Chain A
Amino acid sequence: MVFQSLALLSDAAHMLTDVVALAIALAAIRIGERPADTLRTFGYRRFEILAATFNAVLLFLVAGYIFYEGVLRLFDPEPVGSIGMLIVASLGLGINLISMRLLASGVAASLNVKGAYLEVWADMLGSVGVIGGALLIMATGWTWVDPVVAIGIGLWVLPRTWVLLKNTTHILLEGVPKGLALDAVRATIAAVPGVAAVHDLHLWGISSDDVNGSVHVSVMDADAEIVRRRVLEVMQADHGIEHATVQVETGADGDPSGPGHGDDPHR
Chain B
Amino acid sequence: MGQGHDHGTDAMNDGRLAAAIAVNVLLTLAQIIGGVVSGSLSLIADALHNLNDAASLALALFARKIGRRPADKLMTFGYGRAEVVAALINLTTLIIVGLYLIYEAVNRFLDPQPIDGWIVIWVAGIALVIDIATAVLVYAQSKNSLNIKAAFLHNVSDAMASVGVIAAGLLILFYDLYVADLIITLVISAYVLWQGFSLLPRTIRLLMGAMPDDLEYDRIVAAVQAVPGVRALHHVHVWSLDEHHRSLEAHIVPQVDTLEAFQAVKASVRTVLKTEFSIDHATLEPCLSADMDSAPGAVKAHASGGGGAHRGHDHGHEHQHGSDHGHNDHRDHDR
Contact = CB atoms under 8 A, between A and B. Distances in A.
Interface of A: 35-44, 46-47, 49-50, 53-54, 57-58, 61, 64-65, 68, 71-72, 75-76, 169, 172-176, 181-183, 200-204, 206, 214-216, 219, 224-225, 228-237, 242-251, 255, 257-266
B12 interface: no
Contacts, number: 236
B161 to A, nearest CB: 16
Nearest to B71: A262
A125 B218 CA distance: 52
A173 B44 CA distance: 37
Contact of B296 (A175, A233, A248): A233
A48 to B, nearest CB: 11
Contacts of B69: 262
Given A50-B207, A176-B76, A229 B297 contact: yes
Nearest to A36: B310
B72 A262 contact: yes
9 contacts: A39-B217, A42-B237, A169-B82, A175-B75, A232-B297, A236-B297, A250-B259, A250-B260, A258-B274
Given A234-B297, A235-B297, A242-B315, A50 B286 contact: no
Given A182-B76, A204-B77, A232-B295, A255 B267 contact: yes
Nearest to B212: A39
B307 A36 contact: yes
B225 interface: no
Interface in B52-85: 52, 69-79, 81-82, 84-85
Interface residues of B, number: 87
A65 B69 CA distance: 33
A61 B218 contact: no
Interface in B257-316: 259-260, 262-263, 266-267, 270, 274, 280-289, 292, 294-298, 300, 303, 306-311, 313, 315
Given A57-B96, A173-B85, A228-B286, 4 more contacts: A44-B208, A219-B259, A232-B295, A264-B73
B270 A255 contact: yes
Q: Which 10 A-B pairs have the closest CB atoms?
A: A229-B295, A262-B70, A233-B297, A36-B310, A258-B281, A38-B307, A260-B1, A232-B298, A35-B309, A262-B71
Which of A71, A259, A260, A265 has the most C-beta atoms of chain B within 10 angstroms of its own C-beta?
A260
Given A36-B310, A224-B288, A173 B209 contact: no
A58 B100 CA distance: 12
Contact of A203 (B44, B76, B88): B76
A53 B245 CA distance: 23
Given A249-B259, A265-B76, A169 B319 contact: no
B323 interface: yes
Given A174-B75, A265-B72, A230 B210 contact: no
Given A75-B44, A233-B295, A236-B315, A174 B214 contact: no
Nearest to B107: A1
B92 interface: yes
A264 B72 contact: yes
A200 B248 CA distance: 13
B186 interface: no
B318 to A, nearest CB: 8
A250 B41 contact: no
